[in-house]
Amino acid sequence: MPGIHYPKSSMTCFALLTLLAVALVACAPRQSAQRAAAIPEATIEQIYIATERALDRTGPSFGEPRNAGIRYFRAAISIPPTHRVGNIEWHEGPPDPATDFVVTETEVYEGNPGFVNAVKKGQTAREVLVFVHGYNNTLSEAMYRLAQIQHDFNSGLPSVLFSWPSAGDPRGYVYDRDSVLYARDDLELLLKSLTRGPQDKVTLVAHSMGSHLVMETMRQAALKGDRRLLSRISSVILMSPDIDPDVFRRQAEAIGRLPQPFLMFISREDRALGLAGFITGRKPRLGVIDSPEAVAGLDVKVIDFTALGDGEGLNHAVPTSSPTAISVLKGMIAQAQSGERAFQNYMVLTAQP
């Protein structure tokens, strides 16, 4: 596939304009999850959350100290009957469960054992989906995104959000990269607790900078010689991974045998990663690679969703926010579950609508 190359002056102008937009966005208030009573017409998604954030802080925390330890709770999130696939319907006035995402119930767990028991209670599947959000995410935004994913994909697996201490602020890119390193031990602890049983498995789904956290945590387990934990990871999906390709290769080589399937969803028109690449030295991030050479020799399949973006916004969450991409991905999942070859044996698949 041909690469996309911009003149240096054009890239500088683009970066300056984007930085100006980021500065303006940083001044705008962020929405947070609101409570409301459930209505019969809405769909309730149960989301389990393990977080290093304070539970009374669902909005931005830029400049605040990071919390030590993990806090556990459950949130019942109501999806309105008017929901559009790929969308999160935020409230514009008082929260209305007929038109908006709302929280209808929460339950806090005192510790890890009670949390894990709650996640697995009444579940026939021995597998849990663990979602790791990306840069510039508040707890509210990450909760609602996982609820939207769970609803639109209807995976049938219990879902756990690992919410690491992102600043939840566009100005906090470096802060968030440090927070990823800060969170490795706690994510490893969570994965161990979810896979204690002899048949327990986890599927890891990560977005953006959360992909860096997932790779660092698996690398850490490998360096400790903990092949048991790595063997309990049944699959890994990295969406728009915000990782330097050279770093990713070193991480993958340290991990050794990667969980399978190991899938990476990219978009060559991801504007958020374009800016991240400029900030980190004008080198393209992993989520915008334009050839399979960046992952050559690694047991990784890269699926290109560029053609399925809607052309609006930053194109930074195409697999979960584009209705066309969600439809294509659900078809791939159905093929895989039926034993068909959903993911071809070449490194980059260009998905078409």
Which pLDDT score, from 0 to 100, does residue 30 have?
A: 82
Q: Residue 145, CB half-sphere, CA atoms under 13 Å: how many?
A: 22
pTM greater than 0.85 (yes/no): yes
Q: What is the pLDDT of residues 292-316, one digit of tens each?
A: 788 999 999 999 988 887 766 788 9
Which pLDDT score, from 0 to 100, does residue 244 have?
A: 94
Q: What is the pLDDT of residues 316-335, one digit of tens each?
A: 989 999 999 999 888 877 77
Contact between 259 and 233 under an 8 Å Cβ cutoff? The reply is: yes
Q: Which helix (H) or strand (E) holds 181?
A: helix 173-194
Distance between CA 75 and CA 144 in Å, rounded? 10
Q: What is the pLDDT of residues 131-188, one digit of tens each?
A: 999 999 999 999 999 999 999 999 888 999 999 999 888 889 999 999 999 999 999 9
224-246: average pLDDT: 96
pLDDT score of 6 more than 70? no
